[in-house]
Structure formats: C-alpha cells, structure tokens
Amino acid sequence: MQREEKHFEMTLDAILQRLNDLKLAVLSMIQKLEMEYMDINWPTFLDNFAIISSHLTGLTKILAKEQCPPLRNRTVLPLLVSMDRDETLVNITEGRVPVFSHDIVPDYLRTRPDPITEQKMQQNEQKAANLTNEAAMKQVTQYNKVVSHVLDMVSKAREEWEIESSSRTGIQQTSSMTDTQLLVATVGMGKGLQYKANYGPGPGPGMMVPPSIRGPTPPMGGPSMSPGNVQQQLGKAPSAVKTNIKSANQVHPFSR
C-alpha cells in the first residue's frame, strides 16, 4: 500500500513539473505575441510552438506509462467550501481563484463533461449503435467516393500546374540590350546619324546650323549672312586658276 502511495506521489510530481513547464512556455509565447508582435517572425513563433508541443508530448508519455496509476479511479473531494477569500488558494493559483465557493467547485472539480455536451455525446453514441452494418457500409462507400473525387480534382490541378511551370521557359523578355546600347550611343555620341547639307534658302527660325557650313560672321552692325548669300558670293569671286593661265599666255605668246 505504501509503495503504491509513493509511486502515486512520484507520478503526481512528474505531472506537476510538466504542467509547470507547459504553463511557462504558454506564458512566454503569449508575452511575445503581446509585446513583440511587431518584431516576431515566423521561425521564432514555430520554435515556441515546438516547445509547447514537446511539453504536451512528455505529459502524454507520463500518463500513458504502465507504471502510472489510473487517475480515473481517484476521486477528488473538496475539504472546505467557503465564501471567504483564501490567501493560500490565491497564491497557489497565482490570483486566478480567490474563493473556493459552491459556484466554482463544479467547474474546477468536474470529472465529467458539461451536461449539454454529455447529452449530445450520448445522442451520437446511441445513433451510432442503432446504425446497421449495411447502412454504415453505404455511408463509408459514399464518403470514399467524395474523397476520391476531391483527390482527383486536386491531382489534376497539380498536374496542370506542373506542366505549365515546366513549359514556361522563363520570364518573357520585354527589352533588348542591343537596342538599348544603340540608343545610348546615338543620343550620347551621334552614332548612326546622317546629316545632309542643304544650301538652299536659309534655315528657318529656331534651327541650328553646324559650324562646318555656317557662313562667315558678319561685322558688328553689318547684315547677316545666310548660306544662300555665301554661295552667291563664292560664285562671283574671280578664279585664280583662269587668271594664271591667261597671264601665262600673255607672257609667252610664241612658246610654240
């Protein structure tokens, strides 16, 4: 008897230790969500959730051991029910339960579900017990058909998506590097531009004339010179070649 009591106390201590660890992990996660919600990232959230999951797994293993006494066979009865504030109870529950009254005892010492929940569970159990094997098999077959149809739809959509992804060579190109370089060279250095000189009427207002075909600069206060006037003056100038030839004929008339 003493051995069983000692083993029961050891099991309770292990369960309480796991519950305290679980409570601290939950409090840490809630604190991060409330205080660090702007900086918390997904990996940190998953790490905290993994810690909580490990504590739950450890608690389940303790309860599933063969050495663990069946706690369902134990009955918990209140030793004192009072409407007065109990400071010891406040310290144990960290301020959550100040009074152990008649209204709180059914909720904290309940070993069975809520009456409404228990009633619904009994109705479902009774409905399942009255169901015949043929009707159950029909429902299972119909359920399997629905699941298979949904699975086929998902598989087909996945295959279409994989085919579309594999056939797509990449992002469609919307620019050409060669054309970009040619445009930059044209704007910056005038590459590929052709200029045709026009010696007709003078350029219109606002047009620029390159220095190579620009006329001589008129004197201060003199008339401006246009390319047409420059051409006319060049046509009226005496030819130095013809003058030299005439002079030579005049100097040597009988050279032959």
Side chain identity at 217, as an amino acid letter? T
Question: What is the model's pLDDT at position 108?
Answer: 80
C-alpha closest to that of 78 among 102, 111, 112:
102
C-alpha closest to that of 234 among 203, 248, 213:
213
The rounded average pLDDT for each run of 10 residues, N- to C-terminus, in the chain (256 residues) is: 78 88 91 85 87 90 75 77 88 86 81 81 89 89 94 92 75 78 87 66 49 50 49 47 46 47
Question: C-alpha 224: how far from its chain's center?
Answer: 69
Side chain identity at 151, as an amino acid letter? L
Residue 81's region, left for phi above 0, alpha for psi from -120 to 50, else beta, is: beta
Question: What is the model's pLDDT at position 168?
Answer: 67
C-alpha closest to that of 52 among 20, 25, 92, 90:
25
Note the pTM of the prediction, 2 decimals.
Answer: 0.40
How long a stretch of residues is the chain? 256
Question: What is the model's pLDDT at position 36?
Answer: 84
Phi, psi of 205 (to 5 degrees): -65, 140
Q: CB–CB of 213/197 below 8 Å?
A: yes
